[in-house]
Structure 1
């Protein structure tokens, strides 16, 4: 049996065909969407969890070295790893928010897969993270359907990481492939996420059209100009129908980060000064909440940086705010702040004002935000998305008959307006914000594996 697998930056979803119709598979209770999060006692728990609890062996010598190191550290810390020690989805976020300092929490590992300059051990560890998440999803899907899934089509962005170019794409796909094989899939193919979303939309067309698919996900935005309609339905070879592709690592997570930076970090000292009159370094506030940047997070949470933050606290004109930044470091609360920014973003789709609640364990406080401030905060990523839309049109050399917007972040009215500003007289149709990619991947899996 084949599975359409949307291994998303924000959420994961899988589906199969039942009597010719796409049927999403519940992964936790009745929920078909599983947040792309993982929580464990420590970072090393994941590798040992795969080996000891799931009987998943390392894929190469580097993975073997990662496992040996993990077992050594866990034994030194007195940790015995059990199956229920590693949590996924909402359970992972709940555990992290309850005790952020004493657990290891990862959100959106897909964002890291194309990062350049990582050591082999780091790449192997990311493979373990992805394998743990994929294995959990595969096993849940099989338990809920009483079927075995050995074939899958996995969605991928056009570009995983803009700075790395094709090298980033190759690295990310290699990690996903190895992880999927270790999770138990025997046949693995990939399809561009905007193309998959477009395939779902194509089933509704009665005439051929040039469609600009704009897929704004949690970690990436992809734009594809595709010829669609009855002439193309059911064809396995679609290269001639794909007129242009653009994509970049900018998505819903970036919106959350910019909202946190511009609207929330002022309460942690952003914009305030030292007694000497000098400004506090912006990088400290950015690195604190840049959860999709491995190096930024490593720099902020480094032990040496804590000493620097304490020194800033002593020299600050507003020491109470800098104390919050120190607390954020000590309690590892960057993800918690981003979670509040995400809630503000969601709320602004329906209201004009919102109050975020920041809990630093030692202090809880509120920050008022409004739609104008949110829109101003996300202007940078919105400009990048506008540029991707324009580039797709320029590459194809044609104007689309219709724009098909999908992806969880495309619910934002600000982002819809940003796309419309590039093509003001073109109709915009909103698809299933979360499910269109999964549906397209499922149809494609049925087409190539039948």
Structure 2
């Protein structure tokens, strides 16, 4: 059996073809979308769980060394891993929110896959993370379908990391391919996510058109200018109809991070001064919430950074704010702050004000954010997204007949208006913001495997 598999930055989903129509499969409590999150008692528990409870062997010599170290660490810390100690999706998020400082939690491992400067142990560990999530999704889908899944077309962004170029893309695809094979998929192929979304939109067309697909996901924004319609629908090779691509690692997560930085982090000392009059270092407020940046997270939560944070508190004109930053360090609250910013972003799409309640702090606080403040905070990542829209049209040297917007962040009226301003006379069409890519991947899987 074959599936379309959207291993997304924000959510994961799976679709199968029922006749000539794709159908999404329930993965978590009847929901076809499972958040791209994983939570375990310790970082080391992920690798041990794969081996001990899922019968998934480590990947090569490096993977074996990682597994041995993981088992030794948990034993030394007297952590006895039990079946179902590793959680996924909403279950992972709920476990983290209950005791943020007591568990290992990752949101959006896909964001790390093309990062530069990763050593072989990090690459092996990220493969274990992805494999664990994929194995869970495959198991859940097979339970619903009552069939074994052997083949999958997996979605991929145009570029996993803008700065890494093709080397970063190859690294990410290698991790995804190996993780999928270890998770039990016998044959895996990849398709660009905006192309997949375009295939789903194409199924509704009654005439040929040139369509600009704008896919604004959690981690990346990808644009494809595609010729599509009845004349193209049955082709197994679509390369000639793909006029241009553009893509970069900037997505919904970046909007959340920028909003958290600009509107929440001042309560933790951003913009404040030391008693000497010197500004507090910006990186100490950016790194804890840069949840899609491996080095930023590593730098902030490093043991040696604790001394620097304590020194900043002693030097601060307002030490109470730096006390909150220390609590972020001790309780690993970076993900919690970004989640609060995400809630604010969603609410402010339709409301003028939102009160962000930070309840996990010892001095629980409430921060009011206005819609205009939110718009100002996300201007930098929004501008990058709009440049990608322009780039795709310029490269294709063709004006589109329509713009098809998909991806969770494409629901934002702010982003939709910004895209419309670039191409004011081209209609903007929205589909299933979360499911278009998955459905299109299932359609392409049918082309590949049926």
TM-score category, normalised to shorter length = over 0.9
Does the 8 A contact of 1:4 with 1:441 survive in 2?
yes
The equivalent of 2:60 in structure 1 is 60
Deviation digits for residues 217-242 of structure 1, max 9, x if unmatched? Answer: 00000000000111100211000000
d(CA) in 2 for partners of 1:373, 1:194 = 31
After TM superposition, the score normalised by the length of structure 2 is 0.99
The equivalent of 1:381 in structure 2 is 381
1:422 CA displacement:
1.2
Note if 1:17 corresponds to 2:32. no
Please give the residue correspondences for 1:1-400 in structure 2 after superposition, counting only pairs within 5 Å.
1-400=1-400
d(CA) in 2 for partners of 1:11, 1:400 = 29
Runs of 4+ that moved beyond 4 A: none
1:360 CA displacement:
3.2
The equivalent of 1:424 in structure 2 is 424
Note if 1:442 corresponds to 2:435. no
d(CA) in 2 for partners of 1:294, 1:23 = 35
What SS class does the counterpart of residue 280 from structure 2 fall into? coil
d(CA) in 1 for partners of 2:251, 2:219 = 5
d(CA) in 2 for partners of 1:363, 1:43 = 29
What SS class does the counterpart of residue 429 from structure 1 fall into? strand
d(CA) in 1 for partners of 2:103, 2:62 = 25
d(CA) in 2 for partners of 1:3, 1:255 = 31
Note if 1:409 corresponds to 2:443. no
Deviation digits for residues 250-296 of structure 1, max 9, x if unmatched? Answer: 00000000000001111111111111011001111110100000000
What SS class does the counterpart of residue 85 from structure 1 fall into? coil
d(CA) in 2 for partners of 1:152, 1:119 = 29
Deviation digits for residues 72-93 of structure 1, max 9, x if unmatched? Answer: 1111111222221000000101
1:22 CA displacement:
1.1
d(CA) in 2 for partners of 1:195, 1:99 = 40
Moved more, 377-386 or 309-318: 309-318
d(CA) in 2 for partners of 1:213, 1:56 = 38
Q: Alpha carbons of 1:361 and 1:265: their partners in 2 closer, same or farther (altered >3 Å)?
A: closer
d(CA) in 2 for partners of 1:310, 1:22 = 55
1:214 CA displacement:
0.2
d(CA) in 1 for partners of 2:388, 2:12 = 24
Moved more, 352-361 or 28-37: 352-361
What SS class does the counterpart of residue 80 from structure 1 fall into? coil
d(CA) in 2 for partners of 1:157, 1:19 = 28
d(CA) in 2 for partners of 1:369, 1:241 = 45
Deviation digits for residues 287-343 of structure 1, max 9, x if unmatched? Answer: 010000000001011111111111111111111111111111111100000010000
Moved more, 163-172 or 13-22: 13-22
Does the 8 A contact of 2:3 with 2:445 survive in 1?
yes
d(CA) in 2 for partners of 1:244, 1:374 = 32
CA RMSD of aligned residues (A): 0.8
- Gap regions ≥5 residues in structure 2: none
Does the 8 A contact of 1:9 with 1:218 survive in 2?
yes
1:392 CA displacement:
0.5
Give the paired residue count: 450
d(CA) in 2 for partners of 1:288, 1:39 = 18
d(CA) in 1 for partners of 2:67, 2:19 = 43
Does the 8 A contact of 2:324 with 2:361 survive in 1?
no
Deviation digits for residues 91-129 of structure 1, max 9, x if unmatched? Answer: 101110110111000000000000011111110000000
Does the 8 A contact of 1:217 with 1:407 survive in 2?
yes
- Gap regions ≥5 residues in structure 1: none
1:431 CA displacement:
1.3
Does the 8 A contact of 2:208 with 2:229 survive in 1?
yes
1:361 CA displacement:
4.0
1:141 CA displacement:
0.3
Does the 8 A contact of 1:406 with 1:436 survive in 2?
yes
d(CA) in 1 for partners of 2:361, 2:375 = 30
Does the 8 A contact of 2:114 with 2:171 survive in 1?
yes
